[in-house]
Amino acid sequence: MKILVALDDSSFAEKVLQAAVAMAREQTAVLTVLSVAPVLDEIDDMPPGFNDKLKDAASRVVDRAVSKAAAEGLTATGRVEQGQSPAGCITGLAAEIGADRIVIGHKGKSNLERLLVGSVALGVVTHAPCSVFVVK
């Protein structure tokens, strides 16, 4: 079994990771940890390399989560994707790796983000190629 867990750098992401680790342990599953770094269009006042900094932050999220999963005795790999549609990146990777389940949180970094780009969880549930477990 293959489980894909999508995380951001919110405080809620720890709860999502714990749920995914528990599922992976129960199912003897391989765990893939994904964090999607947003791509921001060029804005005049944006510092150079800002998109790279967002990708680096996502890499740190993935590295911490993979380490925690490995400490639990799980086989875990990490991926960082960068795109304007987090839901599209998540469902695309799920299809690419043949995931049997996606684990995602019902909320992310901010309510403002949800208003601007729509609910990532809703997009994943709607377009996922496999079952989705939404952590509340």
Amino acid (1-letter code) at residue 28? T
pLDDT < 70: residue spans in the chain: 42-46, 108-118
Contacts (Cβ under 8 Å, ≥6 apart) of 130 = 94, 99, 100, 101, 102
What integer pLDDT is reported at residue 115 of this predicted model?
A: 47
Q: What is the pLDDT of residue 43?
A: 63
pLDDT of residue 97: 98
Domains of the chain and CATH, by start: 2-135 (3.40.50.620)
Any residues with CB less than 8 A from the CB of 9 and at least 6 apart, and which?
35, 57, 58, 60, 61, 109
